[in-house]
C-alpha cells in the first residue's frame, strides 16, 4: 500500500461526485485540446500548403495586416525569376467568398495562370484541369464540391455570375480541397485587380538557409515595398493565425477556470467531510507534507482520468468538425502532439490549482479542536 493507493480508494469512495468532477474537467480539457488543436491544425495545414510543394519564400507587399487587400504586379514575377538561385516563381491571386445558401463561409478562391505547376500538382478526380483560353470555368476542391453538391458539368454562382465546373480535384492540403480554382485573368476581372497577384511563392534551387536569406535580400532590394519571408515565418506572422490562436486560448481559459473551480469545490468538500480523519492522521504523526501529498494525489488522479477522457473527446470533436460543412474545408481531422500535451498539462495544472486551497486548509486544521468537533 502506498499514498497513491490510498488516494485512489478515496477518489472511488464518492463515485458520483468523482465522476461528475471528472466530466467537468474532461470538458475543460476537451475544449483546450479541440480549440487549440484546431488552431494549430489551421496553422500547420496552412504551412503545409506552402512547404508541401517545396516553396521556400512568400513574396508579398510589405505592411499589410490583411494580405488579401494588397497586391503586386504580375510582371514582378519575371524579375523574381531572373534572380540567381530561383528555380520557380508561382504568382497567384486569392480571394475569400461565401456560399451563404449552403452555410459555407471563408471559401478560398485561387486564381492561377494556365501553366502554373499547382494545376499539375493536384489530382483531378473528374473532368479536366484548367487550360489556357478557358472562360467562366472553375475547378472545385473535393470537399467543396461535396458540400455544394456539385459535379463536373454543373454550374456554380460566383460573384453574381454562373461558372461551369470543369473539374473536381483532390490536393494534399485541406485548404485546397475546400477551395475554388479559376484562371488568373478570370479572377482578376472579377476582383477588378487587372494585372495583379496577391503574392508569389518562390522555390529555390538550393534550400540552404544562407541561400534563402541571400535570395530574400535580393528580392527586397528590387522594391522596398516588397517583403520576402520564409514560409514558416510567414504563416506564423499571419494576423488571422494569431487571432485564431489567441481566441482559442481565450475561450479555453473559461473552460479552464470552470474546471479549476470544480476541482476546488470537490476537494474542499472532500477535505471538509474528512477533517476528522485528517486530524486523526495528524495525531498519528502524519506530517503536513504527507497530508498535502494525499490530497494532491487525489486531485491528480481525478485530473489524469479527466485528461484521458478530455483528449479523447477533443479528438472526437476535431474529427466531427471535418464532417461539418462549415468547417470541413478548414479543419483536418488530426491533433498535434503539442495540443494533446497542452490538454494533459492543463488537466494537471487545474488539479494542482484547484487542490491548492483545500490543501492549505487541511494542513492548517487545528488537530485537537477538529478531533473534538468531529469525535
Q: Which residues bind other proteins (CB under 8 A)?
A: 1-3, 6, 9-10, 12-13, 276-277, 280-288, 290, 366-368, 371-372, 374-375
Q: How far is the CB of 346 from other proteins (least distance, A)?
A: 29
DSSP lists the bridge partners of residue 111 as 93, 182
Which backbone phi and psi does 92 adopt, to 5 degrees? -150, 150
Q: Between 52 and 276, whose beta carbon lies closer to other proteins?
A: 276
Pick 135 or 288: Cβ nearer other proteins: 288
β-strand 86-99 against 196-197: which pairing, if any?
A: unpaired
CB of 361 to other proteins, least distance (A): 18
Nearer to other proteins, 103 or 277 (CB): 277
- For other proteins, which is the closer residue by CB, 17 or 121? 17
Q: In the bound complex, what is the minimum distance in angstroms from residue 268's beta carbon to other proteins?
A: 19
Pick between residue 17 and residue 129 the one whose CB is nearest to other proteins.
17
The dihedral over CA atoms of 138, 116, 51, 225, expressed in degrees to the nearest 10, equals: -100
Measure the CA dihedral 226/86/67/37, to 10°.
-140
* 15/160 with CB nearer other proteins: 15
Residue 203 to residue 216: CA distance in whole angstroms: 12
We find the least distance from the C-beta atom of residue 365 to other proteins, in angstroms, to be: 11
Cell of 200: 508569389
Of 243 and 283, CB closest to other proteins:
283
Compute the least distance from the CB of residue 294 to other proteins, in Å: 10
CB of 49 to other proteins, least distance (A): 55
Give the C-alpha separation, 258 to 17, whole Å.
Answer: 16
**Contacts for 76-85 with beta carbons within 8 Å, 24 or more apart?**
76/200, 76/222, 76/223, 76/226, 77/197, 77/200, 79/222, 80/200, 80/202, 80/219, 80/222, 83/215, 83/218, 83/219, 84/218, 85/204, 85/205, 85/206, 85/211, 85/214, 85/215
Q: Cβ of residue 145: shortest distance to other proteins, in angstroms?
A: 59
CA 167/CA 213 separation, integer angstroms: 39
Quick one: which of 75, 32, 68, 51 has its CA closest to 313?
Answer: 32
Q: What's the rounded Cα separation, in Å, for the pair 92 and 345?
A: 41
Toward other proteins, which CB reaches closer, 261 or 281? 281
Do residues 113 and 91 make contact, with C-beta atoms less than 8 angstroms apart? yes
d(CA 159, CA 96): 11
Task: Residue 194: count other Cβ atoms within 10 Å of its Cβ.
Answer: 9
Smallest CA-to-CA distance from 258 within 31, 33, 85 is with: 31
Min dist. Cβ of residue 29 to other proteins (A): 26
Rounded least distance, CB 6 to other proteins, Å: 7
For residue 189, what are the contacts with CB-CB under 8 A and spacing of at least 6? none
How near is the Cβ of 282 to other proteins at its closest, in Å? Answer: 7
Closer CB to other proteins, 3 or 345, in the complex:
3
- Whole-number Å distance between alpha carbons of 77 and 226: 12
- Nearer to other proteins among residue 260 and residue 305 (C-beta): 305
Amino acid at each position: 500500500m502506498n499514498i497513491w493507493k490510498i488516494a485512489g480508494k478515496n477518489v472511488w469512495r464518492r463515485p458520483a461526485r468523482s465522476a461528475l468532477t471528472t466530466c467537468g474537467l474532461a470538458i475543460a480539457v476537451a475544449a483546450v485540446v479541440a480549440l487549440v488543436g484546431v488552431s494549430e491544425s489551421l496553422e500547420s495545414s496552412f504551412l503545409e500548403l506552402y512547404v508541401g510543394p517545396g516553396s521556400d519564400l512568400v513574396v508579398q507587399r510589405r505592411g499589410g495586416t490583411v494580405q488579401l487587400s494588397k497586391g503586386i504586379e504580375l510582371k514582378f514575377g519575371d524579375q523574381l525569376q531572373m534572380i540567381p538561385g530561383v528555380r520557380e516563381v508561382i504568382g497567384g491571386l486569392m480571394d475569400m467568398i461565401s456560399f451563404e445558401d449552403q452555410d459555407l463561409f471563408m471559401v478560398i478562391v485561387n486564381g492561377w495562370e494556365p501553366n502554373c505547376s499547382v494545376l499539375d500538382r493536384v489530382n483531378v478526380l473528374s473532368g479536366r484541369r484548367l487550360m489556357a483560353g478557358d472562360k467562366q470555368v472553375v475547378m472545385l476542391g473535393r470537399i467543396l464540391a461535396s458540400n455544394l453538391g456539385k459535379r463536373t458539368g454543373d454550374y456554380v454562382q460566383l460573384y453574381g455570375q454562373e461558372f461551369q465546373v470543369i473539374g473536381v480535384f483532390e490536393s494534399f492540403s485541406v485548404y485546397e480541397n475546400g477551395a475554388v480554382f479559376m484562371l488568373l485573368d478570370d479572377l482578376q476581372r472579377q476582383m477588378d485587380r487587372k494585372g495583379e497577384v496577391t503574392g508569389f511563392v518562390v522555390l529555390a534551387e538550393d534550400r540552404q538557409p544562407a541561400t534563402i536569406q541571400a535570395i530574400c535580400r535580393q528580392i527586397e532590394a528590387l522594391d522596398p515595398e516588397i517583403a520576402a519571408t520564409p514560409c514558416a515565418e510567414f504563416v506564423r506572422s499571419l494576423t488571422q493565425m494569431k487571432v485564431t490562436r489567441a481566441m482559442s486560448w481565450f475561450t479555453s481559459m473559461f473552460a479552464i477556470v470552470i474546471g479549476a473551480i470544480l476541482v476546488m469545490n470537490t476537494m474542499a468538500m472532500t477535505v471538509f467531510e474528512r477533517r476528522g480523519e485528517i486530524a486523526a492522521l495528524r495525531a498519528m504523526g502524519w506530517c503536513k507534507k504527507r497530508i498535502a501529498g494525499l490530497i494532491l494525489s487525489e486531485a491528480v488522479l481525478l485530473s489524469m482520468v479527466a485528461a484521458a477522457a478530455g483528449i479523447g473527446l477533443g479528438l472526437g470533436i476535431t474529427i466531427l468538425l471535418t464532417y461539418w460543412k462549415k468547417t470541413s474545408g478548414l479543419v483536418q481531422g488530426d491533433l498535434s502532439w503539442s495540443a494533446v500535451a497542452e490538454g494533459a498539462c492543463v488537466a494537471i495544472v487545474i488539479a494542482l490549482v484547484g487542490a491548492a486551497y483545500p490543501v492549505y486548509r487541511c494542513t492548517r486544521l487545528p488537530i485537537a479542536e477538529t478531533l473534538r468537533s468531529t469525535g
